[in-house]
Chains A and B, each alone.
Chain A
């Protein structure tokens, strides 16, 4: 029936919006499936869901089974279908609702069948395209190199055929080896030779290289021995207030407090009971340095160095020695000839300078007109040296030009360069540099006897012509004092004096001399002089040594004074003028008294300020006191460097210690020694120690705090001859030296051991106390003597009055009790002093 039911079919087929119009889902019974060969999951599967059905078959089926056929709903579609075959697709997943669907239009059929295939085909084609096809070779030029390297035959290979003679065919062959060199012409050689016609320079050579990395593998492992936890904190961690509150209120804190408090309280109490911070032993002051008890072992004075200069010191003795005040390790010695030698020859005398670095050669020589008995360095300018001759003249040197010789040689210097060697050689070849004296005092106005002592006035004050002390404007030492056994003490000044004559210019000058003191030369006169008339008798004292008090300025120090003090420029002495007395301000508090030791062993206490007598002339007043203490010549009068009122005086056999202000007597006196003592000096570091040199060459060390009855230590045989002078010096806190000179021209420098030079602060006060004690003892003794005298007088008067009545025996009676008392007291005193080891037996009787 060609009923056009296409629209109906199409509308029928369009039931359900879920599937497109051109397919029709339908159900096929298993019978139909068998019939058409599209059994589900057998003929048609998920992979192969398409089945093409013939249109005729479908029509046939429809005709046969009519309404029962599954194809009945699509009958019209099938009838209208233009092509012969219809596509049946097995819808395995029921996408369109049924298990099969029939594709209605041929276009859809084509589309379903073909496009997927087409797609796969395209995919295959793409894959095929990805595999590379061989491209034609694009030459870059390498085929030339390949061709060059390639081996090609240039000619055909040559072929040789060897065959034997026919008759030998078949016969056995015997082969053997033969060396080419065995037979002559066995080989033909074409050796290569260098053709001289041309040479080929090889420009390029192929060389094969392979870089091999040099590998070295090594391993290390540290030992983590000390494991420690370390933490750093940049900002301190702090809890906030509420956190603190929380913690404070926590229970654990309370428990902690209760548990900890008893321990803390216990410890606090412990500390209060015994204060462990105070070392009671140390507080006693019984340390090594403080102990001065007997039993302390003294070390010896060790010999540091000995100095001598063979050229100059033969047969000479040294009169005095001085350390250079500023340069380390420089000693100056004054040589004196023996008496006999002096009268016979007239060789020049010298002052020698030694340096620590060169013990056998002197560094500098000062030429003297005659033997020097005493010399001193100027305290404000160590380049000025003043010396007193044996003929009574005063000599002045200025070594500022030659100081370089002393300074250049440092002790133990490391600059052992060629320069110093040649310098030394030169020194040996030439003479030691010599300095001629700059000025010599006028012979008629000098002393008439050898000058035995010379002292500079300190730079704090100066003395005018009238003898009164005045202020020193320039704060340099320009004046000094000399004394001599001719009975005079003279004050000298370095500056230009009024009414000077024209200086006589000496035409012949052999050695260079400085012009500093030209104004003084040959007409130098002392400023003023004093004599020492004896107190009770006529005549004069003959001073050998004296000591004046070193005055330190107590006035206001202005800035100008400080500047002048600090400036180290050497003043031009020729420009300085002696100021008139009116322009200077007088200093009232200067102690103008001197302690003088005389030739007869007396100690004289005198005032150098001249007094005016009735006629207006001034002359020196009588000395205030005189004490007969020593037996021989006084060889030392020296103030203690620690106390300015303690003086040590030394005679031939004993020494005495005086305190200025105690006019009655000395305060300490030593027992007489057996050997003659020849030199003495205070120690610079300990207030109670001093050294004594003897005639036999031994040195005694006395320590007043330890014992006063004898030396603390005796060191015998320091020198072989009589010791002439001892001078101590402190080089540094570790090095303390003692220069000892003797009669044979040798200077020995000894090092003072630490026990003798370590000082403690308490020593000063204890020494002071000791001296005070001695003074008190003296006063007490004198007092007692007075009392005894009085008693004695009374007793005598009483005796006189009652003489006719009383018998001689009774005379003694009134005196007996007082004498008995006195004796008792003396015994008590002796015992008490012995207990304190301060007992000095009164060996010398004293004249009262």
Chain B
């Protein structure tokens, strides 16, 4: 029964990722833990590691900025728009989710 529950959890995670991946223009999804180590990804290893490391620092910085301005505030979402694509980061207490989207696809 324990294994069943675990499978269920895993399936939920998979299902969520599939939903996001199915959106138009999504290039990749990465789930990173609070230390910046990628847990699950749809991109190749080198890109994943690069994104995870860089974005982790960015999220830390952004979060600390928000909280420095108002300690009761917190970061809920971060969007980085560039010339070629858009990176969306949803932070949480323990993990954060990175989605890379190319809107012209």
Contacts and interface: CB of A to CB of B under 8 A. Distances in A.
The judgment on whether A and B are partners is: yes
B92 A256 contact: yes
Interface in A617-650: none
B25 A271 contact: yes
Contacts of B36: 237
Closest 9 CB pairs of A and B: A236-B49, A260-B90, A249-B6, A257-B16, A268-B23, A254-B9, A256-B92, A271-B103, A256-B95
A394 to B, nearest CB: 60
A264 B53 contact: no
A272 B103 contact: yes
A248 B101 contact: no
Nearest to A239: B37
Interface in B70-84: 76-77, 79, 81, 83
Contact of A259 (B23, B79, B92, B99): B92
Nearest to A255: B92
Interface of A: 233, 236-239, 244, 247-254, 256-261, 263-265, 267-269, 271-272, 275-278
Most buried by B among A233, A256, A265, A276: A256
Contacts of A275: 103-104
A237 B56 CA distance: 13
Interface in B47-105: 49, 52-53, 76-77, 79, 81, 83, 86, 88, 90, 92-95, 97, 99, 101, 103-104
Secondary structure at the A interface, as helix, strand, loop or mixed, is helix
B40 A244 contact: yes
A771 to B, nearest CB: 36
Contact of A253 (B13, B24, B76): B13
B43 interface: no
B88 A237 contact: no
Contacts of A250: 9
27 contacts: A236-B53, A237-B35, A237-B36, A238-B49, A249-B9, A250-B9, A251-B9, A252-B94, A253-B13, A253-B31, A253-B94, A256-B97, A257-B13, A257-B17, A258-B12, A261-B19, A263-B76, A264-B97, A265-B19, A267-B79, A268-B20, A268-B99, A271-B25, A275-B104, A276-B103, A277-B81, A277-B103
Nearest to A257: B16
Contacts of A233: 53
A252 to B, nearest CB: 5
A263 B37 CA distance: 22
B10 interface: yes
Contacts of A251: 9
A251 B35 CA distance: 18
Q: Interface size for chain B: under 10, 10 to 19, 20 to 34, or 35 or more residues?
A: 35 or more
Interface string B2-16: 000010011011001
Contact of B16 (A238, A239, A247, A258): A258
A625 to B, nearest CB: 54
A258 B53 CA distance: 24
Contact of A238 (B17, B38, B104): B38
A155 to B, nearest CB: 97
Contact of B25 (A244, A257, A263, A272): A272
B103 A247 contact: no
B94 A256 contact: yes
A237 B39 CA distance: 11
Contact of B10 (A248, A252, A277): A248
Contacts of A260: 90, 92, 97
B89 to A, nearest CB: 9
Most buried by A among B17, B35, B81, B103: B103
Nearest to B12: A254
Contacts of B23: 265, 268-269, 272
A267 B93 CA distance: 20
A248 B9 CA distance: 8
Contacts of B9: 248-251, 253-254
B77 to A, nearest CB: 6
Contact of A244 (B6, B39, B76): B39
B39 A247 contact: yes
A278 B102 CA distance: 12
Contacts of B104: 275, 277-278
Nearest to A250: B9
B26 A268 contact: yes
A239 B101 CA distance: 26
A250 B79 CA distance: 27
B19 to A, nearest CB: 7
Nearest to B15: A257
B88 A264 contact: yes
A206 to B, nearest CB: 73
A256 B33 CA distance: 11
B54 to A, nearest CB: 11
A261 B10 CA distance: 15
Nearest to B97: A260
B39 A263 contact: no
Contacts of B99: 264, 268
A278 to B, nearest CB: 8
Contacts of B37: 237-239
